[in-house]
Amino acid sequence: MPVTMAPERNNEAAEVKEWGWTQHPGCVPLSRKVFRKWLAKVNADHYEEDATLCFMELLTNAIRIESPTGLTHTKWLLYEDKLRVEVHDYSTHAPFLVTQDENSESGRGLILVHLLADKWGYDHTRFLGEHGEGWIPGKIVWFELHK
């Protein structure tokens, strides 16, 4: 089971980038490039390998969940001592680790996140509708990599 914890809000992120990705598998290679460029720009390339793999896994899962805006929102936060990546989706179902047989072609994403991230989890939340028409339930799945 993932660790479910409220995000730490007591220290200020040095760099923050928010991005909305179209809900199409074709956005995944582009998001990988943009994420890596951002890591280089903010001098956080030491996180690149593990962070990119974890981000790709969470984004790939999230773009499968229909969004009222057609976008999957992400937030990248670089602190002095860690990188935190958040991926929003409109499902109320908690993410869970699945054990797949060795011949399965999918289902290993959260296992990789669990193995690579220093911390990961999710927070149930509500998002304001695109036109302010009310609150839509969902969650934020996140991971952290520490120095």
Q: Would you say 139 and 91 are in contact if contact means Cβ atoms under 8 Å apart?
A: yes
Q: Where are the alpha helices (DSSP H) in 5-129?
A: 27-41, 48-62, 109-116
| Confidence (pTM) | 0.84
For each of the domains in the chain, give its residue range(s) and CATH number, in order of start.
Answer: 15-146 (3.30.565.10)
Q: How far apart are CA 140 and CA 39, in angstroms?
A: 21
Rg of the chain taking only CA atoms, in angstroms: 15
Q: Is the dihedral of CA 81, 13, 128, 130 positive or negative?
A: negative
Beta-carbon count within 10 A of 7 CB: 13
Number of helices and strands (H, E) in the chain? 3, 5
Directed axis angle between helix 48-62 and helix 27-41, to 10°? 150
pLDDT at 108: 66
pLDDT tens sequence across 115-146 = 999 999 999 988 777 766 778 889 999 999 99
Single-letter amino acid, residue 118? D
pLDDT less than 50: residues of the chain: 1-8
pLDDT at 101: 56
Q: How far apart are CA 42 and CA 39, in angstroms?
A: 5
